[in-house]
C-alpha cells in the first residue's frame, strides 16, 4: 500500500468528525483495521471512507433490528409456536450490531423460532454466514464457504469475537 493511501489517527478522526480516542477505540475493538507505525497507527484511507458510507448502512441494520423486535416480541409470532424475542435478546443483538465492523456489508436481520435474533450474510451459491444472538451473551454461528463449513459458539464480551470476524472476512 502506498503512503498516500494511509492516514493517521488524527486525520481519520478529522475526516469522520470524531475524537482521536474514538478512532483508537475502533482500532482496539477491531472495527477499524490499522497497522502499527512507530508509536501510533496508520489506517487505509479506503477504510475511513468506508466507515463514512457505512454509517447509513448501520442505521438501516438498526432499523431492521427494531422492526424484527416489534414484529416478534409476542409468543407464536410465526403462527407455529415460536418463542417471543425478549428484551434481553434485542439488547444483545443491538450491542452486536453496534460492534459490527463498519467495513462489513449489511446483514439481513431475522428472528429465530427459539427467540434469538439472527444476522445473515449471503455471497452467492454455497457462500453464507449467520450469527444468532440470544439473551445470555452467547453467539452461535455457522457458515458455508464453498466446500468448507464452520460452526460454533462464542462468548460475547466487550469486543467483537475474532472467530466471527475471521469468518466474515473469509466469506467476503
In sequence order, the β-bridge partners of residue 6 are 44
CA distance 55 to 97: 12
Residues 6+ apart with CB under 8 A from 68: 85, 109, 110, 111, 117
Average pLDDT, the chain: 89
Report the domain count for the chain: 1
**What confidence tier does 164 reach under pLDDT thresholds 50, 70, 90?**
very high
The reported pTM is 0.71
* Domain limits for position 128: 3-171
Decide: 112 and 141 in contact? Cβ < 8 Å.
Answer: no
**Cell of residue 24, nine digits:** 483508537
**What confidence tier does 159 reach under pLDDT thresholds 50, 70, 90?**
confident
Checking if the pLDDT of 1 tops 70, the result is no
Element (H, E) at 129: strand 127-133
Amino acid at each position: 500500500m502506498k503512503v498516500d493511501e494511509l492516514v493517521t489517527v488524527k486525520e481519520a478522526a478529522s475526516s469522520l468528525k470524531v475524537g482521536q480516542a474514538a478512532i483508537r477505540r475502533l482500532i482496539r475493538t477491531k472495527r477499524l483495521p490499522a497497522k502499527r507505525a512507530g508509536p501510533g497507527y496508520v489506517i487505509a484511507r479506503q477504510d475511513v471512507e468506508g466507515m463514512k458510507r457505512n454509517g447509513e448502512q448501520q442505521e438501516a441494520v438498526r432499523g431492521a433490528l427494531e422492526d424484527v423486535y416489534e414484529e416478534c416480541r409476542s409468543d407464536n409470532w410465526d403462527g407455529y409456536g415460536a418463542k417471543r424475542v425478549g428484551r434481553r435478546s434485542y439488547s444483545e443483538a443491538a450491542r452486536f450490531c453496534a460492534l459490527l465492523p463498519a467495513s462489513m456489508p449489511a446483514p439481513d436481520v431475522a428472528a429465530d423460532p427459539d427467540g434469538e435474533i439472527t444476522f445473515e450474510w449471503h455471497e452467492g451459491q454455497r457462500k453464507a454466514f449467520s450469527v444468532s444472538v440470544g439473551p445470555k451473551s452467547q453467539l452461535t454461528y455457522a457458515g458455508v464457504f464453498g466446500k468448507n463449513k464452520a460452526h460454533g459458539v462464542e462468548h460475547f464480551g466487550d469486543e467483537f469475537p475474532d472467530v466471527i470476524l475471521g469468518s466474515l472476512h473469509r466469506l467476503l
